[in-house]
Structure 1
Amino acid sequence: MRFIKLLLLSGLVFGILIFLTSLLFPSKAIVERSGVIDAPLSVVYGQINDLKTWPSWNPWAAPDVAQKINYTGPATGKGAGYTWSGTQHDKPVTGTVMIRESNPAKGVYCDLTFSSMKPMTAAFELKPSADGKGTAIQWRLETELGLLPWWKLRGFLADKLTGPQLESGLTQLRTICEKK
């Protein structure tokens, strides 16, 4: 009986220590990648502002992830959105994308939800490149994690988990825009 009490007390102390340690981690996860696309700002903006072009470059809108997409609202710009569903690793996944703000001089800002994930915001910030011949782009994802240790740990790993997908998406976007 004494061993069980000691085991339970040790488990409780360990849980409290993990929670207190997690308070040292940031409550927001930010993953960002940037680059330069050798295409006019209007071409890059057109690809990002039109959600129907996303499956050709965005890794989370690709046909192998989002097998079914239903578009809502206007075709482009503020209020445009879609819901998607698919299967990953034999599990059903769903999500939504909604353009919250769209400005040709600044970029496109979206609200995202994915099943079993915290809501995210995405920002595609655009400006002319330093030489004036191309477009500088920064793709940023932000997630509010809250206080729970497992979400904070996931946020701590977000750059390693999500960063390569952002890089892949930017590379594909660059290829598409530079061909136009």
Structure 2
Amino acid sequence: MRLIKLGVISFVVIFLVIFLLSLLIPSTVRVSRATNIDAPVDSVMAQIRDIRNWKGWNEMLNNPEYRDVSYTETAFHSDQVQIKIQSAKADSVLTDWHQLSGRDIHSGFACFNMNGVTVLQWYFDFKLRWYPWEKIGSIIFDKQLGPPMEKSLGNLKTMVEKQP
């Protein structure tokens, strides 16, 4: 009986410690990457405003596991993820990514000219619930999304800089 009581108390104490540590992790996490492109802002934004162009540069959409893939000017649909452009301006595009597993992720592109070079920033914003495992798991978001974002931005840079 003592051993069971010790086990229950230990479990509760460990859970409370993990829960309190998870409160130190912010409830909003942003994963962001940027690149410099030697092309006008309007050339870069033309590629981003139309989701049909994304299949030529966006590594996240070129997943062979996606089935029933369809592209429109403002949306991408597959059996695992749906992307919709919420707003498109001359220098920014805001999108919503809905994973069929239930997570909604806000994303955006911001583009501006700095000393004759176009700077493009791409970011994902995650809203986390209070669950300790969700907050602790968010630590790896940058490692998961960073490399494909960097490769995609590199592809976009190469594509836009080659245009006449």
Whether these two folds match at TM > 0.5 is yes
Matches within 5 A, 1:123-138: 123-130=108-115, 132=116, 134-138=117-121
Q: Deviations over 1:19-66 (max 9, x none)?
A: 111001111111111111111212111111111111121121115253
Matches within 5 A, 1:105-116: 106-116=91-101
Matches within 5 A, 1:19-168: 19-71=19-71, 75=73, 80-85=74-79, 94-104=80-90, 106-116=91-101, 118-130=103-115, 132=116, 134-168=117-151
For the residue of structure 1 that corresponds to 2:158, the secondary structure is: helix
Q: Is the 8 A contact 1:118 1:145 kept in 2?
A: no
- What is the Cα deviation at residue 113 of structure 1? 1.6
Residue identity matched to 1:84? S
Greater Cα offset, 156-165 or 31-40: 156-165
- For residues 114 and 27 of structure 2, the distance between their equivalents in structure 1, rounded to whole angstroms, comes to 33
Matches within 5 A, 1:163-178: 163-178=146-161
Q: TM-score, normalised by structure 1?
A: 0.84
Q: Is the 8 A contact 1:118 1:144 kept in 2?
A: no
Q: Deviations over 1:126-170 (max 9, x none)?
A: 11232x2x4210011100011111111122222122111111110
Residue identity matched to 2:88? S
Q: Is the 8 A contact 1:118 1:143 kept in 2?
A: no
Structure 1: where are the runs of 5+ without partners? 86-93
- For residues 145 and 84 of structure 2, the distance between their equivalents in structure 1, rounded to whole angstroms, comes to 20
For the residue of structure 1 that corresponds to 2:122, the secondary structure is: strand
Q: TM-score, normalised by structure 2?
A: 0.91
How many residues of Structure 1 are paired with residues of Structure 2 in the alignment?
163
Whichever structure has more helix as a proportion of its residues is 2
Q: Is the 8 A contact 1:100 1:111 kept in 2?
A: yes
- For residues 144 and 100 of structure 1, the distance between their equivalents in structure 2, rounded to whole angstroms, comes to 17
For the residue of structure 2 that corresponds to 1:157, the secondary structure is: helix
Question: What is the root-mean-square deviation in Å for CA atoms of aligned residues?
Answer: 1.6
Q: Is the 8 A contact 1:36 1:129 kept in 2?
A: no
Of all paired residues, the percent bearing the same amino acid is 33
